[in-house]
Structure 1
């Protein structure tokens, strides 16, 4: 048998043939230069594709993009995770700070808007008399009047509050509140004080209101005291009840048991919480103190006024939105203010009423010489001068007494 001569690159007899795909056989490292190694993968030549569109009726396959050698393939796009499966995003401190600032701005807007809404419903009255009046004086003096008018009260309310059915309009309460460089001063003028009423001769001071309303009362007070009245505030009987109830009641501290059928009052001695009806009876009763009578009533009226002012201006009023709304909306039904009073002026007046007790203020009766309520000519003039000159911090303790009588008389 003739044998074919072996070439230099062929394996010897008995040596396994090296296959280009499966390997084996001759050592690939001994391949000749320029010849492909047996272990290399053969690359088929690329064929150009026609640029013209395929014939109609044939289906073309998408051509994968060519990539350069050594460049990793582009990963396929990842579908977005549904919102329900996403992890909740953490909110930083700035997010909560913005929430707090927005709520704070809304609260400030509420505090400003509510009084303005209420103020638009408030009744105003012209109280300034014409003609000669005292010149402007330092500080601010408010005339505060409590009217005993039953107007606006229902039949049931008149019975509940024991106000009776009297007609007409008089002043149960007359007070001067002075604010300035020194302590605030709240001074009661007993309604039975004997004074000269312009155009009507000598009489009780509350008759001035009955004759000529606020203007004649202001003129009478200015003529008798020399003190210029800068602002005016009036409250009715029903207003006292409504305002006291709006602040949730006040504390009163009677020094003796008080039982007065005419005022609808029956309370024990000592400090206690009072609702609007009890507070009104406490401020109106004049028959429970056999010694001082109406003078003690004036003292109780100052106590009620300052207590209401303290409750109105307490922090709880401004923190509780319902109480704040109730207090502000009670103002139009409670008070009548003089022309020229602004809502900010009314706020200053309310704040001043909270500073008439203790070290921050003084509460007095107008200095009188006897229980017939004749003003003491010397002591009352001294008191009025301190007010006119805004020197309330110089008022002696013996001059400012709860009854208005000298301290030696009251003990």
Structure 2
């Protein structure tokens, strides 16, 4: 032991070597800092790669968005309200289907353009709200008198259908999206099936639906049969619009699930199938589609509401138009008035 006042023994060469090699307390601190810097560098690199991949995917998707002239100004067009209104349309055109596909999907050879699905998606301070307009709704088609609402698409395509919906509801339609028969099949198959549930068995020879009560993981062909069935449904067209909303919500929820978004091997084919299935108005692109998809997912998860326009009488015989569906005028006016003002919608009389 060194006496007080006497110099201590000099450090041994081995201990000096240990400290110089960075193995003492100060060296350990330097080592920890080096590891932190390395981890930070790796994280930054991963973020950069993720952003670069996202930008590349965004650009790739933007080039593949298909557009259609669906919106136009005209005298007496409803003024813009609060929030954003999408018109969502399911086209049942068979032009792109081969004879084998028509047989497999239980659809005929009718080449007339038609639509089985017509919905308004409203997003704003309240909602989002998804409102189904049954295809047999009896409304005034501009320039053609009163007829079923889906006949507007058959006679004048997206632009006449949009104008018909605007005139019937008093809503300004801001965005338009259309999906085809074959597009539904391909998108669901790219997702690897979607989960759809039934309270009672559904069997319909016209659509090919044959499902027991309960939940099912359905492929594209089965999902299409699920939403097209109406002849065996005691609610007819009203039952079908509920299943249409269920399918749209299930697809949106599946597309935006982490298992798709975080897996490039799934994200690319799903995105490609979704874009090939869709056509949107000329002013809409990838940002608008993403916003619409998030709104649909929110509806599917119980946020907002999914309803049908209030109905006064279904199955009313109307001459050459056949059996039509009449809206409850007061209930419909309250519903669409709430959407125009972007306030909470009334739920009485809607389903």
TM-score range normalised by the length of the shorter chain? 0.7 to 0.9
TM norm structure 1: 0.72
Q: Give the aligned CA root-mean-square deviation in angstroms.
A: 1.5
Deviation of the 1:333 alpha carbon: 1.4
Deviation of the 1:382 alpha carbon: 0.7
Three-state SS of the structure 1 residue aligned to 2:214 is: coil
The partner residue of 1:166 within 95, 110, 116 is: 110
Say which structure is richer in strand.
2
Q: Who is 1:309 aligned against?
A: 252
In the TM superposition, what are the counterparts of 1:363-374 in structure 2 within 5 Å? 363-372=306-315, 373-374=325-326
1:399 and 2:349 aligned: yes
**Quick one: distance in 2 between partners of 1:194 and 1:369?**
11
1:281 and 2:231 aligned: no
Moved more, 197-206 or 147-156: 147-156
Three-state SS of the structure 1 residue aligned to 2:333 is: helix
Q: Who is 2:148 aligned against?
A: 204
Contact kept, 8 Å, 1:115 with 1:328, in 2: the verdict is no
Deviation digits for residues 9-35 of structure 1 (CA, Å, limit 9, x no counterpart): xxxxxxxxxxxxxxxxxxxxxxxxxxx
Point out which structure has higher relative CO (alpha carbons under 8 A, 6+ apart): 2
Deviation of the 1:367 alpha carbon: 0.7
1:318 and 2:241 aligned: no
1:348 and 2:300 aligned: no
Contact kept, 8 Å, 1:147 with 1:169, in 2: the verdict is yes
**Quick one: distance in 2 between partners of 1:169 and 1:113?**
36
Q: Which 5+ residue runs of structure 2 have no aligned equivalent?
A: 1-30, 316-324
**Quick one: distance in 1 between partners of 2:106 and 2:252?**
24
Contact kept, 8 Å, 2:106 with 2:206, in 1: the verdict is yes
In the TM superposition, what are the counterparts of 1:144-293 in structure 2 within 5 Å? 144-289=88-233, 291-293=234-236
Contact kept, 8 Å, 1:292 with 1:371, in 2: the verdict is no
Counterparts in 2 of 1:346 and 1:103: CA distance versus 1, 3 Å: same
Say which structure is richer in helix.
2
Q: Which 5+ residue runs of structure 1 have no aligned equivalent?
A: 1-89, 402-411
Q: Who is 2:51 aligned against?
A: 108
Q: Who is 1:53 aligned against?
A: none
The partner residue of 2:341 within 382, 389, 410 is: 389
Contact kept, 8 Å, 2:253 with 2:300, in 1: the verdict is no
Larger radius of gyration: 1
Deviation digits for residues 257-312 of structure 1 (CA, Å, limit 9, x no counterpart): 111222122111111211111111101111121x2111101110000001111111
